[in-house]
């Protein structure tokens, strides 16, 4: 008779452990499922991708990335963009597999164009480095020509906070100051 309460407690403990293991398994299965299914959205143009990601007032952080630096792009997101609740950003991929890598991490990326050396780091002032710099300039000019405000960043940086409030205030003050100076010059 004394063994019966012990067996009953042991059965409850075993059932509890099995229940916890089942919950952990379901959580892990869900988490793995989320990693395998990415939210890949295809945009037909860079401007449409920017329009979908920009803030309501047209600000967008753009980071050009090639396959050689895709790990740094993921680090930029994990260390700076996500912790500071920055949502108006877009990675612009150079090279065919760059956006595939970022999409597997559920990061927004627009495939811009291919580059023969996208999988290799470029040496400063080399021909492929200059080509990539010119591609970056093309990206910025295309987004600016669509009337967005572009904040271009490298992927090897760290944001100590969300820079948007500071950028918007300083930009607004600078714009008004330039407008005032222009008005004063016209009066002379």
The DSSP string of 75-101 is: HHIIIIITTTT---EEEEEESTTHHHH
- How far is the CA of 131 from the CAs of 47, 98, 119, 125, 154, in angstroms? 21, 17, 14, 10, 16
pLDDT of residue 38: 41
* pLDDT in the model for residue 116: 87
Low-confidence residues of the chain, pLDDT below 50?
Answer: 13-38, 173-188
Q: Which two tokens stand for residue 48?
A: 């449409």
| pLDDT at res. 42 | 75
Domain assignments of the chain as residue spans, ordered by start: 46-162
Asked if residues 119 and 71 have their Cβ atoms less than 8 Å apart, the reply is: no
Tell which CATH classification among 2.60.40, 3.40.50, 1.10.3210, 3.10.450 matches the domain 46-162.
3.40.50
pLDDT at 180: 41
């Amino acid at each position: 008779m004394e063994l019966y309460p012990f067996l009953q407690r042991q059965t409850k403990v075993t059932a509890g452990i099995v229940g916890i293991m089942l919950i952990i398994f379901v959580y892990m299965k869900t988490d793995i499922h989320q990693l395998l299914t990415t939210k890949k959205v295809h945009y037909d143009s860079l401007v449409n991708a920017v329009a979908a990601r920009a803030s309501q007032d047209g600000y967008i952080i753009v980071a050009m990335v090639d396959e050689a630096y895709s790990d740094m792009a993921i680090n930029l997101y994990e260390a700076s963009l996500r912790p500071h609740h920055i949502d108006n950003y877009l990675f612009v991929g150079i090279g065919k597999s760059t956006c595939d890598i970022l999409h597997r991490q559920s990061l927004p990326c627009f495939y811009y164009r291919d580059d023969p050396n996208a999988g290799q780091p470029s040496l400063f002032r080399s021909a492929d480095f200059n080509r990539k710099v010119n591609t970056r300039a093309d990206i910025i000019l295309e987004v600016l020509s669509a009337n967005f405000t572009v904040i271009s960043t490298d992927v090897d940086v760290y944001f100590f906070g969300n820079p948007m409030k500071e950028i918007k205030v300083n930009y607004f003050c600078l714009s008004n100051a330039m407008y005032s100076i222009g008005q004063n010059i016209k009066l002379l």
